[in-house]
Amino acid sequence: MCGIAGRLAATPLSPEREGRALALMANRGPDGRGAFHAAAPGGNLTLLHTRLSIVDLDARSDQPFTKDGLTLVYNGEIYNYPELRAELRAAGRSFRTEGDTEVVLEAFRVWGPDALDRFEGMFALALFDAQSGRLTLARDRFGEKPLYWMRDGEGGFLFASEIKVLAALAGRKPSVDRDQLRRYLVNGYKALLSERRTFYTDVADFPAASLAILDRPEDPAPRRYWMLEARPDEGMTAEQALEGARERVHRAIARRLRADVPIAVRLSGGIDSNVIAGVARTVHDHPITCFSIVEDDPRYDETAAIRATLARLDLPNVRIPIPRGNFLERLDDLIGYFDGPPLTISYYLHWLVSEAIHEAGFKVALGGTGADELFTGYYDHYLFWLASMKDAPGFEDRVAGWRETYGRFVRNPELQNPHAFIEAPDRREHIFLGRERFSTFLTEPFDEPHREVPYPGSPIRRRMLNEIFHETVPVMLHDDDLASMRWSVENRAPYLDRDLAEFLFTVPDRHLIQKHLPKILLREAGRGLVDDSILDNPRKQGINAPVTSFVDFTRPDVRERLLEEGPLFDIVNRDRFAELLDHEVTLNSDSKFLFSLVAAKLFLDRHAAWTP
């Protein structure tokens, strides 16, 4: 895990800007830094890199990595690098390192862009070919590793792992996209990355599963090299689905245990992280240490489940109490690193866990990102599944099963009718819940209905693909990366594995929910490894907390800080904000909205004072 950046322009990059960019990348790579300069057909090329050493800790694997006319800067991990190295050696290539960086470079030399199809991992990379003068940019299938680009006002093309680094290379701060902020406040996080927007009008997010080749300073034209598609094998039995999922889950976790440093697991009371811990400890006998946030609110307290796992697996655990003081100061620091507001309050908690992981001396942490989207973990998934099964025998028994299990815990009023998506297949009001009311807080109305990409397949598969590529997974990966890299911790997501994802999308819909429990394939993949009380719990759990757990909004100093004049009140009605601070917040949607208002306030104040 590292930081990368680069510039292609007619004029050379000044030493001052280069030094500033490298300094800002230090958290992403505290173990080494380097720069590469070359004259390219399109002008002057600079490639920058800072290293967080995870595999082959020797300096021989430092970057920029140059060999026989190719130069690579690369952020991420290719988990199947030993197998690829064996293939490349059989093809006549030799190696001077033991890590994955040289494997990536040689894979491009032998297979060209087709090498991307062979990589299993997470990455953002830039590869310069001195012979052709071409610069190749690419990003992993799910977009685990970030890559942003912008123009510098002098005709140059810039790219980097973080927006603050782009600003340093350009020598100017980017402009805030106020429509994106309105979208954040009114529609929430699921609307933010559907079209790969950022909070800045002049910064673009390079798309996942894409590559672009440049030979001059121009806007890249990324082309997609992979897409997940629903291809159900209707002849697959339930037993085949369970066994196929179990095998691939175990293999995906094994791949992400490859490292030359100790590994941590972010353990909550939910299924996702518990399966990771159980498989790592029991199946692969890999030493891990668990880190868990502790919340007193009974709605979010997961202590009992965490204790059950620790007792069963005999694992060390670091418990992290939620600090009650200095919330605004901590959040302001987080926003400064994120270059924008965190997209949900969960990533304030992720930030706290990553800080504890770093302080304990760990560089790698595993988490459960993507499991809900791949295994049907959300409350609306059950209803979309019921809509897919409406004509199958036993439908009313399935509805009764929903009422006895998942249906008991649904708080969203739009999802309390088991026939919701049978009666109105295109209804999506539950996704932007409260948007009409939240819009009334703005100085100008904002009305942007939910839009869904019409992927082929059943209703539930269409919903899951939208979440994976447009709504939830991109958002989680964005904040996963920043919350961990602030503390120089590499975050790995075992469930975002190509083989696992492609298999799951061949499973017929009827096998996705069994015994009236969603996520059944993941539950059973952990059977015998995870306490049954966790695997059989119908209630969805995960790291979360209401914003009122962190700060007392009735305190005069808090109110003064949040209501002082600033650019937020060009967008938000100050009096309405004050009224919200005066009222007790009980609804989950209102808590999320209040957090977004607070984060937007701190972000805009910080941007106004930002000097690149």
Known binding positions for L-glutamine: 100
> Annotated catalytic, 2?
yes
Q: What one-letter code names the amino acid at 388?
A: S
* CA–CA dist 406, 395 (Å, integer): 16
Is the torsion defined by CA of 158, 161, 167, 171 positive or negative?
negative
Which is it for strands 317-321 and 288-294: parallel, antiparallel or unpaired? parallel
* CA–CA dist 356, 349 (Å, integer): 11
* CA–CA dist 498, 507 (Å, integer): 15
67 within 8 A of 105, measured Cβ to Cβ: yes
What phi, psi does 160 have (nearest 5°)?
-170, 165
Is the torsion defined by CA of 195, 199, 201, 202 positive or negative?
negative
Name the E strands within 363-432: 364-366
Cis peptide before 64 (omega within 30 of 0): yes
List the binding residues for ATP: 293
From 1, 2, 276, 431, the catalytic residue: 2
Alpha helices in 256-359 (DSSP H): 271-278, 303-313, 327-338, 346-359
Distance (Å) of CA 81 to CA 115, 120, 365, 449, 477: 12, 8, 19, 44, 23
430 within 8 A of 380, measured Cβ to Cβ: yes
* CA–CA dist 144, 130 (Å, integer): 28
List the binding residues: 100, 293
Alpha carbon 492 to its chain's center: 10
β-strand partners of 51? 2, 32
286 within 8 A of 541, measured Cβ to Cβ: no
DSSP code at position 60: G
The closest of 190, 158, 161 to 51, measured between CA atoms, is: 161
Q: Which tokens sit at 326?
A: 């200095």
Question: Which are the catalytic amino acids?
Answer: 2
